[in-house]
Amino acid sequence: MVRQRTNVCGRGEKDTGKLERSNATHALLYKTEMQTEGMYGCEVSTEMPHFRTIKAEKELYVYVIPEGDPAIFGVMNRYPIGSAVNVTCVFGPSKPAAELTWYINGDKASEAYVRQRQKEIYQNDLETTKSRLFFVVDPSHLRQGTLSLQCTASVSLVHSKSSIELIVNDGSSGAEFLHVPHVPPGLEGPSITGSVSRYYVGDTVDVNCSSARSLEPAQLQWFVNDNEVKPEFLSQYSPTIYPDGLSSTKLGLRFRVQEDHFRSEEMRLKCTATLAKIITMTTVETIAVGPQRTSGFQVSANSAIGGYTF
């Protein structure tokens, strides 16, 4: 059994809306399903004499999180020194897919121990994630005669996306750049610094994108002409933490302008800031040297809401 969590991020009218409870400014969605996800828009038009039209859009996300915690399969009652641990952690189906992390006695397992990671896709784009842990037990793996295996599933739920776009004309045209913000109502979007008014072929673009202050660190992405920039052109910076507990992230972009960067005498640089809540679920298996084994379910020690960690 799975539970749907819906982050309603806009106004729109689909088959799931109740027309009798919707009006010119609001649309009611009384039931969500996988097909509810998408871009919702609102368009306002004026009449004579101006005939102006303004349109706003926002994306709606549908999330599916399983009721249970990750399951660990293949655990034996006893692991003598020199024996092999060969266990598998399974979580799902969910949307989006989870990232699985292994821990041994509270320490993150070496990547050499993680032999396999795979995802299986089901109907409605739900995914089940599996990860296999394999290693040979030695005395360093024991704590007070026990071996603790922990699998943590992390699911990132996007709840806000905002961006700013820098539209740069070919320097030979004489036109200057234009900042175009794409920010949901009531939110502050990222900012771009370091840009110059004109770029020519052969110039170096060296700009930084900084997110607005937020409780959760924002994930930043750079796009050139709607194509995500490769890591080798990016500069990572440590987040800035403010006295009020808010934080801001910064991501640099540096590349040399090529002729094909200008499309119709225009180059578009866009920085997108994504805010997401991370849900973590953890299962721990503690195996004694003797024949007894205990199993427990734990949630990481952040503020827990309804059994999940935000």
Question: Which sign, positive or negative, has the C-alpha torsion 132, 137, 138, 141?
Answer: positive
39-61 pLDDT tens trace: 777 777 777 776 677 666 677 77
Higher pLDDT, 20 or 209: 209
| Residue of 276, 279, 307 lying closest to 9 (CA atoms) | 276
Topology, domain 159-276: Immunoglobulin-like (2.60.40)
pLDDT the model gives residue 186: 65
The answer to whether 181 touches 170, Cβ cutoff 8 Å, is no
- pLDDT exceeds cutoff 60 at 156: yes
- Do the domains 159-276 and 71-156+281-288 match in fold? yes
Residue 283 near residue 151, CB atoms below 8 Å: yes
Enumerate long-range contacts of 113-120, CB under 8 Å, 24 or more apart: 120/92
Instruction: Give the pLDDT confidence score for residue 111 in this predicted structure.
Output: 94
Q: How many C-beta atoms lie closer than 10 Å to residue 125's C-beta?
A: 14
For the chain, what are the domain ranges?
Answer: 4-60, 71-156+281-288, 159-276
**Cα separations in angstroms, 275 against 63, 188, 216:** 15, 12, 7
What is the C-alpha radius of gyration for the chain, rounded to an integer number of angstroms?
25
The string of pLDDT tens digits covering residues 208-249 is 999 999 888 899 999 999 899 999 999 999 999 999 989 999
Architecture per CATH, 71-156+281-288: Sandwich (2.60)
Q: How far apart are CA 151 and CA 91, in angstroms?
A: 10
- Poorest-confidence range of 17-31, 169-183, 202-216? 169-183
Query: At residue 177, what are phi and psi to the nearest 5 degrees?
Result: -75, 165
pLDDT > 70? residue 300: no
Query: CA-CA distance, 250 to 28, in Å (whole number)?
Result: 37
